Every structure is written in C-alpha cells, then in structure tokens.
Amino acid sequence: MARLARILFTIIIAAVFVLPAKCEQAMSLSTLVTPQRMNLEECNRVFKMPAEKLFYMTIAGINANRFTVDEIQTKTGYILFSAVEKQFLASVIKIDNNRSILKVTPADNIYYFQPGIVLNLFKYIDLNSLEPLSKIPARS
C-alpha cells in the first residue's frame, strides 16, 4: 500500500510541475509590449493567399493596429510604416499563385522591439484571411 501511495504521489507531483511547462500558452500582454530581441524567423510568415490580397490585408492590418503608413510601393510590394517611434518595412513576396510571404522587419535593422507589432499584424491577417477584401473591417 505504501508503494502504491508513493507511485501515486510521484505521478501527481510530475503532473503538477511538468504539464504546465509542456502546455503552450499565449504571450501575455506585458510580453507583447516589452521590447525584446527578436529573431528574423519570427518576423516572416507564409500565408495561403495571393500576393496582391496579402498586400492589401497588410495595409488593412497596419491601419487596424493604428500604425502610421509612411510609404507604399505597390509595384515592388512593400509598405514602410511607423509603430512606437520605430520604422518597419513590410514586404510581400509571391511564392506561387496561392502562397505569399510577409516579412516585417525594422528599417534600422535593429531587432530589439516589441513583438506585439509583428504578431498583432500576423494575427489580424489570420483572422480576416477568409473574408473578401471588400468586407474587411475598418478600425473602430
């Protein structure tokens, strides 16, 4: 009986300490707004949509997050915008007819900034990617 109790106790302790570490949790608000070192891989995302739609979705996402658009170049597919007193370059790159890459990188090439800038833009595009461009919500 004591042996069974020890095994049960060990399983409970392991479950309490190991399972929360294994469960992936969303970033907290303080983590999203606190400047930190970002990797280039975290600033790139492949989307399953044509490059033109991704370009317009990126503009809508920048607007919805209340960032300031400084320059738009439709021919090459880039948007220069400002957020939290820092400039970023959003580049849309066509892979094929149904896939495109969005790269959001700091214009000064210093990857120390708030991760929420990039992650909120990606989240906006993910949430509205199934909607036609004419029905994308404007900022409120």
Domains, the chain: 26-135 (3.30.310.170)
Task: Look at residue 28 in the predicted model and tell me its pLDDT.
Answer: 61
Tell me the backbone φ, ψ of residue 87, rounded to 5 degrees: -95, 145
pLDDT digits (tens, 9 = 90+) for 86-108: 999 999 999 999 999 999 999 99
DSSP string, the chain: -HHHHHHHHHHHHHHHHHHHHHS--PPPHHHHHS-EE--GGGGEEEESS-HHHHHHHHHHHHHHTTPEEEEEETTTTEEEEEETTEEEEEEEEE-SSS-EEEEEEETTS--EE-HHHHHHHHHHHHHHTTS-GGGPPPP-
d(CA 94, CA 42): 19
Percent of the chain with pLDDT over 70: 72
**Does residue 135 register a pLDDT over 70?**
no
Percent of the chain with pLDDT over 90: 59
Measured between its terminal Cα atoms, the distance across the chain in Å is 64
pLDDT digits (tens, 9 = 90+) for 3-54: 766 665 566 665 555 544 444 445 565 566 788 899 999 999 999 999 999 9
Task: Look at residue 132 in the predicted model and tell me its pLDDT.
Answer: 73
Is 124:60 a contact under the CB 8 Å cutoff? yes
Task: Look at residue 133 in the predicted model and tell me its pLDDT.
Answer: 67
